[in-house]
Amino acid sequence: MGEFDNKEREEVFSKKVRAGKRTYFFDVKATRSGDYYLTVTESKKRLEDGVFVKHKIFLYKEDFEKFTEGLNETVDYIKSHQDVVEKRYEYSENGEHSPKTSDDFSF
């Protein structure tokens, strides 16, 4: 595979979000024609063997609005029917994390 193949998936922007035992990656990539698309990857370490399991979805710009509407409606439903508390985590240099109880907040 040459340079042309790498250009098809050029990474433009990346955001890593650690959330407890999971890590989410939001990556903006460019096609050969310069169109951007989003990949969302969930990564979680399996306890039994230490292997990272990843799940990925691709979201194309023509679907952003409908996807966002559906996601917002779903999150709003959950928030209105149950208490949602997000834990803030501190990360040490060895990669371990623990929840910070003083920074928990509700949506």
From CA 70, how far away is CA 84, in angstroms rounded? Answer: 18
Q: Count of CB atoms within 10 A of residue 33's CB? A: 6
Structural domains of the chain sorted by starting position, each given as residue range(s) with its CATH number in brackets = 7-65 (3.10.450.700)
> Which pLDDT tens digits describe the chain residue by residue (107 residues)?
445 455 447 789 999 999 988 999 999 999 989 999 999 999 999 999 999 999 999 999 999 999 999 999 999 999 999 988 877 766 555 555 555 544 444 43
Nearest to 22 by CA among 41, 8, 4: 41
From CA 19, how far away is CA 66, in angstroms rounded? Answer: 25
Nearest to 105 by CA among 79, 81, 72: 79
Q: What is the value of pTM for the model shown? A: 0.69
